[in-house]
Amino acid sequence: MKRDLARRDLLAASASLLTALARTARAEQPEEPAFNAAGERSGEVQPESAIVHTRLTLHPERNNRGWSFPVHPHNLNTVRELANIRIPAGLNITDLEGSCAGKAGKVRLHYATNPNLDRAKVTEWFDATAANDFVHQFKLSGLSPSTRYHFAVETKAQRGERTRRGAIATFRTAPAPGEWRPVKFHAVSCQDYACRDLLDGYKTYRSMAAEEADFVCSIGDNVYYDLDLPFAINKPIARFHWHRMYSQPKVMDVFRKTPGYWLKDDHDSHEDDNWVSRPSQRVKPMTYSDLAPVFVEQVPMGPSTYRRARWGKALELFFVENRDFRSPNPEPDGPSHTLWGQRQKEWLKKALLESDADFRVLIAPNCMVGPDPRHGPPFKFPGGGADSHGDGGYAFEAREFKEFIRSNRIRNFITINGDRHWQYHSVDIETGMREFCTGAVTDAHSVPDPFKDERYHRFIRPEGGYLSVAVEGTRQAPRLRFRLHSVVGEVKYETSFGKEG
């Protein structure tokens, strides 16, 4: 009996020792470095600076075999039906199709002016943790104007020295303000996941990737918190919307070689036709204050969501914020009813007066000219409407700004907007202000019967695609060319303007 007890004690002690040794071996084994399943995106490119955004992930690719939500017709009439559809019990976000599970670690950036990254500059190591969704944004300065840079991230585990380097991507800095050279950019808006027209992304992105451009303007409704399933009822789901969108191969192909500028609108900040204090309906208990900050975390973004970008002598862009500072939509229109807020409005007017660029282009999530009276006042909560300068909801401020442009003789001024789910070129009948709308990224997300007014519209098309804009000509005779493309890249409308004055 004693011998049996002693033997059992010896076996138990041996098992404990083996377990302890195995635990020690695992602890001493170097941890696997993180991947970057969504690649990197460069943005906010200026003549001497840029920002590179990356997010560390557990796996090298998105979850392409995860659980998918049912396909649904994407319009506001389906919201009540969709509101109760949740992530199935027993599953979490990382089980969903398109998810990119994050992983804590360290990250640094290699960048150089040659594609092999020979003699590259290397940043210090930075921590990427769950606190900010495993994201890091590298703010690069001291760059050379009009220069192509190549870059790649390198990751390292929190424990151990083993590293992993990602694929090489690229961007070109803007030319110096006095330099004249041709410039080309694309603009897109209204890209929802439910309306994808390719399994690996969008036809529009495939078409843009086939054309070389200096940058892309993503000008609102980049994701849909309140229409695409699952509704963003917490911050992790809101982040999932961005992971799923920007890990699509066709989207990654564009941003691997082209920098971007991002603006947010209603659906990628909270809910349809929102303002800061609007009560939540579809995404409750989340509020605007909960969800809007996710935008600046998930895109390469500087300190302000309204800013300007100079691209040589020919072009200056002015990006405006249309959600953070607006008065509530239902308030009566008048001098105090503002979409931009007083501080931003003063900044914009001052910046436009300062600019000596050949062409000045306002990039806004919502329309200035439109017109879109069907969407206009009165605002019907929670249905929406009266949401833009061009639908009459903020008509006083719109008239005030258009008169500022005319009275200060700011020539060669053009506006570009998203939000409306059709493409158009319109001209204001009172001031002659010209406006172009990108339309939605897909045909399926377009409005089949948009409002048309021949007094304003030079072109209108109820289908999806993108806008391309090009500075052409010479320093002495520059021109700005606008093309509205279908999702497969066909030019459906084209016009150009020479410099006036």
Write the pLDDT tens digit of every residue in 403-452.
999 999 999 999 999 999 999 999 999 999 999 999 999 999 999 999 99
Distance CA 91, CA 41 (A): 30
For 374, the 3-state DSSP assignment is helix
Residue 158 DSSP one-character state: S
Rounded to the nearest integer, the mean pLDDT of the chain is 93
Q: Report whether the peptide linkage leading into residue 382 is cis, meaning its omega lies within 30 degrees of zero.
A: yes
Instruction: Tell me the DSSP string of 405-453.
Output: HHHTT--SEEEEE--SSSEEEEE-TTT--EEEE---SSGGGS-SS----
The burial of 269, by beta-carbon neighbours within 10 Å (0-12 exposed, 13-18 middle, 19 or more buried), is given as: buried
- β-sheet bridge partners, residue 307: 319
Write the pLDDT tens digit of every residue in 183-193.
999 999 999 99
Torsion of CA 343, 347, 349, 353, to 10 degrees: 160
Indicate if the alpha-carbon torsion angle 124, 111, 252, 218 is positive or negative: positive
Which residues contact residue 77 at a Cβ distance below 8 angstroms, ignoring those fewer than 6 apart? none
Average pLDDT over residues 369-383: 89
For 207, the 3-state DSSP assignment is helix
pLDDT at residue number 26: 47
pLDDT at residue number 20: 53
Which residues contact residue 373 at a Cβ distance below 8 angstroms, ignoring those fewer than 6 apart? 391, 392, 451
More confident of the two residues 9 and 152: 152
Q: Give, in order, the Cα–Cα distances in Å from 481 to each of 261, 468, 473.
A: 20, 8, 10
Contact yes or no for 309/261 (Cβ under 8 A) = yes
Q: Is the pLDDT of residue 6 over 70?
A: no
Distance CA 7, CA 35 (A): 48
Average pLDDT over residues 309-321: 98
Share of the chain above pLDDT 90, in %: 87
Single pTM value for the model: 0.93
Average pLDDT over residues 296-306: 96
Average pLDDT over residues 45-58: 98
Q: What are phi and psi of 255, to 5 degrees?
A: -80, -5
pLDDT at residue number 17: 53
Distance CA 229, CA 246 (A): 16
What would you report as the CA-atom Rg of the chain, rounded to the nearest whole angstrom? 25
pLDDT at residue number 70: 82
Distance CA 445, CA 295 (A): 22
Distance CA 312, CA 288 (A): 37
Average pLDDT over residues 214-239: 96
Structure-token pair, residue 197:
């027209």
Average pLDDT over residues 363-371: 97
Distance CA 177, CA 189 (A): 28
Instruction: Tell me the DSSP string of 264-325.
Output: --STTTSSTT--TTPPPSSSTT--HHHHHHHHHHHS---S-SSEEEEETTTEEEEE--SSTT
Residue 261 DSSP one-character state: E
Look-up of token digits 């993180």: 34
Residue 234 DSSP one-character state: S
Count other Cβ atoms within 10 Å, centred on residue 89: 5
Distance CA 376, CA 391 (A): 4
Look-up of token digits 């172009």: 436
Average pLDDT over residues 38-57: 98
More confident of the two residues 318 and 383: 318
The full set of domains in the chain, from first to last, is 40-60+100-171 (2.60.40.380), 176-498 (3.60.21.70)
Which residues contact residue 46 at a Cβ distance below 8 angstroms, ignoring those fewer than 6 apart? 173, 174, 309, 310
Contact yes or no for 281/383 (Cβ under 8 A) = no
Q: Give, in order, the Cα–Cα distances in Å from 378 to each of 153, 341, 498.
A: 50, 21, 39
Distance CA 86, CA 54 (A): 29
pLDDT at residue number 5: 47
Beta strands in 113-225 (DSSP E): 121-122, 126-128, 135-140, 148-156, 163-165, 169-172, 183-188, 215-219
CA 383 to chain centre: 25
Best CA proximity match to 31, nearest among 135, 103, 95: 103
Residue 74 DSSP one-character state: -
Instruction: Tell me the DSSP string of 124-151.
Output: PPEEE-GGGTTEEEEEE-SPPTT-EEEE
